[in-house]
Copies of this chain bind each other. A is one copy, B any other.
Amino acid sequence: MDAFAKPKLDDVAREAGVSTATVSRCLNEPGKVTAATRDRVMRAVEALGYTPNFGGKALASQKTSTVGAVLPTLDNAIFARGLQSFQETLSAAGVTLLVASSGYDADREDEQIRALIGRGADGILLIGTARRPAAYEFLKRARTPYVIAWSIGEAGETSVGFDNVGAAREMARRVIAEGHRRIAMISGITHMNDRAAGRVEGVCQALREAGIETADLVVDEVRYAFDEAGEALERLMSRNDPPTAIICGNDVLGVGAIARAKQLGLVVPSDLSITGFDDIDIASIVEPGLTTVHVPHRRMGTAAAETLLALIDGRPVSETVLLETTICDRGSLGPAPAGNRPRP
Contact = CB atoms under 8 A, between A and B. Distances in A.
Contact of A58 (B58, B77, B226): B58
A118 interface: yes
Nearest to A59: B55
Interface residues of A, number: 54
A74 interface: yes
B51 A59 contact: no
Contact of A118 (B51, B81, B120): B51
B58 A142 contact: no
How many copies, total? Answer: 2
Contacts of A77: 75, 77, 80
A170 B59 CA distance: 54
A226 B281 contact: yes
Given A58-B58, A80-B80, A120-B54, A88 B75 contact: no
A322 interface: no
A270 interface: no
A231 interface: no
A329 to B, nearest CB: 18
A312 to B, nearest CB: 15
Interface in A1-49: 6, 49
Contacts of A99: 83, 87, 97-99
A114 B91 CA distance: 12
Contacts of A49: 141
Interface in A99-118: 99-101, 103, 112, 114-118
B54 A56 contact: no
A117 B54 CA distance: 9
Nearest to A81: B75
B75 A64 contact: no
Contacts of A57: 55
Contact of A84 (B65, B84, B101): B101
Given A80-B80, A281-B226, A100 B97 contact: yes
12 contacts: A6-B143, A51-B114, A51-B142, A55-B64, A74-B83, A74-B87, A75-B77, A75-B81, A88-B103, A94-B115, A286-B286, A287-B287
Interface of A: 6, 49, 51-60, 62, 64-66, 73-75, 77, 80-81, 83-84, 87-88, 91, 94, 96-101, 103, 112, 114-120, 141-143, 226, 255, 259, 281-282, 285-287
Given A55-B56, A97-B98, 5 more contacts: A55-B64, A66-B98, A74-B80, A74-B87, A77-B77
